[in-house]
Structure 1
Amino acid sequence: MLEGFRFLSITDVPPKEVKEGITAKILKEGTAEDPSVFMELTFAPGAAFGRDEHAELEILHVLEGEFSDGDAVHGPGTVIIGHPGSVHFPASSSGCRVLAFHPQG
């Protein structure tokens, strides 16, 4: 094992429902020393988060399916960067998986 590294399998992380039809697998929780959070979000077909306003930076990477931000639909490979003060309406008509990184927690 490499010193200073932590390894986990995403298949071992249990999903937690965050909204109806949307689950999160928290891969890295924030701490006092490092508030960053890293998670996989899964949207069931037709799931919608509603209005999502960001006080801090959010970086999303669409892994599979189609992710809508309320303005456009984004497919696999798309990286979406939401700056502080930005607002979007996360949803997916067909279902999707997205990695979400919140550097400030």
Structure 2
Amino acid sequence: MTDMIWSHVDEVPARKFTDGITLRQMWEGAGGRSCHVIDIAPGAVWPNLDVHKPGPEEVFVVSGVFNDGVRDYPPGSFIHCPAGSSHVPQSLTGCRLFVFYPEG
């Protein structure tokens, strides 16, 4: 049986990324693979273009409405952002995201 690693989001310290956006690193693996919970406060906007490199980004909208600079994604939405793609994360209403970087 493999040793499992678990944590509860409320027990992981939030790190301020920018005004209105906090990151919680839930797990980090080999090669920079990681997953995070990102909270975006109402009206907050990522400060610059978010380019996905070296690999893709997987986003699941847990709550609220996420906007990538082009369209809105309601709770329950899954977004696959291939390597090299980009967006400007933001939310008018506020949202919580689960984000996974499978290749770092």
- What is the TM-score with the length of structure 1 in the denominator? 0.90
The amino acid of 1:36's aligned partner reads R
Distance 1:5 1:53 in 2: 31
CA apart distance, 1:4: 1.2
Describe the superposition over 1:48-101 as per-residue Cα deviations: whole angstroms up to 9, x where unpaired.
003111112000000000100011000000001100110111000110000000
Q: 2:86 corresponds to which residue?
A: 87
1:47 partner SS: coil
Q: 1:100 corresponds to which residue?
A: 99
Distance 1:83 1:53 in 2: 10
Alignment identity in percent?
32
CA apart distance, 1:7: 2.1
1:91 partner SS: coil
Paired residues, number = 102
Q: Does 1:36 align with 2:24?
A: no
CA apart distance, 1:34: 4.6
CA apart distance, 1:6: 1.6
CA apart distance, 1:3: 4.6
Q: 1:7 corresponds to which residue?
A: 6
- What is the TM-score with the length of structure 2 in the denominator? 0.91
Following TM superposition, the consecutive aligned residue runs of length 4 or more in structure 1 with deviations greater than 4 angstroms are: none
The amino acid of 1:54's aligned partner reads H
Structure 2: state its 5+ residue gaps: none
The amino acid of 2:64's aligned partner reads G
Distance 1:3 1:85 in 2: 33
